[in-house]
Every structure is written in structure tokens, then in C-alpha cells.
Amino acid sequence: MKVLIIEDEELAVKKLQKTLAGVDNSAEVVGVADSIRSSVSWLQDNPAPDLILMDIELADGQSFEIFDKVDVKSTVIFTTSYDEFALKAFKVNSVDYLLKPIQKEDLQAALDKFKKMKNMYGNGSNNAQPLNVDSLVKELQLKLQPREFRKRFLVKHAQKLVSIEVDEIAYFYSDGRLNFFKTNDNKKYVVDYTMDELEEMLNPEIYFRISRSFYVSIASVDQIHDYFGNRLLLNLKPAVDKEALVSREKVTEFKKWMGK
């Protein structure tokens, strides 16, 4: 298996070469490029490798530009330091990504996936057509574009409409009929959005959906307690008149979010 590494950090290249050798002794690194320009030049002047390990952020821009300048005929595994929240949904059959620092077991899994898909699409022959990643690159590029999150909500209060800044909101919750939010100064407002809609509006670095009926800010979490059923019970500030429980399936992700 012939591999091209596109990475602009010399130490990262050496670590990747060492890790690659440790997981697949058939892998041969046929080239290393450290920029968009040198990558395009290499791909124009050399036969297409079986696989490209490509860092997303290069010194002269994002590596997606390579696909605009040259026909990439190889399967690509992206390497990136991007936050998991931006990438967790991007796992598809013909392209993958690895979060830095790259772990041996993660690289092994990505290579196994690559070989499986190559056999599936090419019946294992040397004449197999390379997997097309153009549409997938566009999807990944779209996912990594900076998102615009909601900055304020317009809500009714005492026969008036008032605008509340998002950073004043401690948490959102539902009573089963209506959805509300409480501000840091303990004022309660009805919000005319579903919890699913709110999930698309709020910055996941600041707000986390702990259950179907609760969306909390990191600043609102005062205390965390173990609760039966492998759940967690949160004491929120300001206090809320119902139990704020982290559902069992959310516990691991919540702990990771709180510890970032």
C-alpha cells in the first residue's frame, strides 16, 4: 500500500510514519508534502498513491483547496486537531478522519476500514477504481465552516416583547406543554421553540442537552450527584422546580463536555 502524507509539522510527520509502520508493515510512504502548493505539485508529477493521510490545516490554507486544483484519485483519511463536536457525525464509508494526537488503534481502525471498502468496490483487484471523495470533502468542508449561533431571544413578558441575550440564559426546560428558559437573575420566560430547534441554535461549547426536556449552560451547573439508573442529578443555579437529570445515554458525553 503506497501512502502520501500531507502534513506541515515535521514532528507530526515522523510520528505518523512511525505509527503507520507499527500498524501495517505493507504501508510504504512514497512522499511527504507540507503545503497546498507542494501537494498539488506532487500529485501532478507522481502516480496516485493508494491512500493519502491529509492534515486539514496547512500553513498556506485548508487542504480542501487541493481538491480544487488537482484531480485527487486516492482515498483520503483526514487528520485534524478540530474539536470532536464539529466532526463526530462525519463517519462515512469512503473517507475518514483521525483526531490528533493520532493513536495507534485509531489509525489501525481507519486502515482496516480503507482496505475493506477498497475490496468492496474493487473486488480486491489491483485495477480497482479509487473511491471518489469529492462530495464527501464538500460535506466535511461545510461541517467545518464557522457556525452562527443564536445571540438573543425575543419573548413576551407582561404584555410586552423583550429581547434577552443568550449569555444571560442559565438553562432551558420543558414542563411537557411549554418550553421555558430561566435567566441568571432567576427570571422565567416562555420560549416559542422546541427543544430540537434549540439544539440547532445554541453553541454546544456553552449549552448541553442533558435529556429530552433540559438544556443547561455550563455556568448553571452548581453540583453533580450520582443518581439511580446510572444517571446524574444536577443542582442548577438559579434553582429549578423540577429534577434536572442527565439521561443514562448522555452521561459519558456530559462528563466529557464538563471536563473540556
Is residue 73's pLDDT more than 90?
no
Indicate the residue among 144, 164, 191 that finishes a domain.
Answer: 144
pLDDT for res 142: 63
Same domain as 116, residue 11: yes
On whether the CB atoms of residues 51 and 3 are closer than 8 A, the answer is yes
Same domain as 136, residue 158: no
Same domain as 140, residue 176: no
Same domain as 17, residue 107: yes
pTM of the model: 0.50
Same domain as 140, residue 227: no
Measure the CA–CA gap between 169 and 217, rounded to whole angstroms. 8
Is residue 80's pLDDT more than 50?
yes
Query: Residue 201: which CATH number?
Result: 2.40.50.1020
pLDDT, averaged across the chain: 84
Mean pLDDT in residue range 108-126: 65
Q: Cα-atom radius of gyration of the chain, to the nearest Å?
A: 24
Same domain as 224, residue 194: yes
pLDDT for res 134: 57
Same domain as 78, residue 50: yes
pLDDT digits (tens, 9 = 90+) for 162-209: 999 999 999 999 988 899 999 999 999 999 999 999 988 999 999 999
Domain residue limits at 9: 2-144
Mean pLDDT in residue range 231-259: 93
Total of domains in the chain:
2
Same domain as 128, residue 18: yes
pLDDT digits (tens, 9 = 90+) for 88-100: 434 433 456 677 7
Mean pLDDT in residue range 122-140: 51
3-state class (DSSP) for residue 186: coil
Indicate the residue among 94, 110, 144 that finishes a domain.
Answer: 144
Measure the CA–CA gap between 98 and 88, rounded to whole angstroms. 11
Mean pLDDT in residue range 58-82: 83
Q: Residue 68: enclosing H or E segment and its boundaries? A: helix 65-69
Least confident of 27-31, 64-68, 118-122, 189-193: 118-122
Same domain as 56, residue 101: yes
pLDDT for res 217: 96
